[in-house]
Amino acid sequence: MNTDKSGKASEKGSLRRELLAARALLTKEDALRAAAVLADAALHLPELADARTVAAYVSVGREPGTRALLEALRGRGVRVLLPVLLADNDLDWAAYEGPAHLLPAGRGLLEPDGPRLGPDAVLAADAVLLPGLAVDGAGMRLGRGGGSYDRVLARLSAAGAHPSLVVLLYENEVVARVPVEPHDHPVDAVVTPAGARRFANPL
């Protein structure tokens, strides 16, 4: 690893720890209130309002909540795809059929119990909801560091697919600058309890 890359990784690690510590201070009630507001704001975002297929994820712990949003999208007749973590950290996908069809999986995650559709299923998505810890004014996103969504974004890019990329965050997680490495991709929009912000990206 060269010095610049090592430095960026260290910066990312420090920022992740800071933001995760802030999330840990939220109460369950705080998180539930924020989730309801996030769902309403996200549903009005054009990128999601017009989508027929959305690749999303099930929030866990004190992550900005997605469960109300998943149900609202499904209620609209949107096909919602949820990730299934593979042994190599890549993501397979399966359709969301409601909360009764979610099963506990590794790393505290919840995964759909339906047929696996393959890693390329994400290529059919009109919008992709990405988990994250921060985004900056240029739309650069800080992930959790596992690399799963880096693979998803690389797969989309290699296939020439350009779904809208949206991240749900708390207001304090919109930061001045996110450390950027060559493999990082900007998102198109961020939704926080304070509202949505869209970015003009060349992708």
CATH number at residue 85: 3.40.50.10420
Please, is 124 exposed, middle or buried when counting C-beta atoms within 10 Å of its C-beta (0-12, 13-18, 19+)? middle
**What's the pTM value of the predicted model, to 2 decimals?**
0.91
Please, is 107 exposed, middle or buried when counting C-beta atoms within 10 Å of its C-beta (0-12, 13-18, 19+)? exposed
The answer to the question of residue 28 being in a domain is yes
Task: Work out how many domains the chain is built from and give that number.
Answer: 1
The answer to the question of residue 203 being in a domain is no
Strands 174-175 and 134-136: parallel
The answer to the question of residue 143 being in a domain is yes
Question: pLDDT digit string (tens) for 59-115?
Answer: 998 999 999 999 999 999 999 999 999 999 999 999 999 999 999 998 888 999 999
Q: Span 157-163, mean pLDDT?
A: 94
The answer to the question of residue 69 being in a domain is yes
**Residue whose structure tokens are 């009764």:** 100
Region of 145 on the Ramachandran plot (φ > 0 left; ψ -120 to 50 alpha; else beta): left
**Residue whose structure tokens are 């309002």:** 49
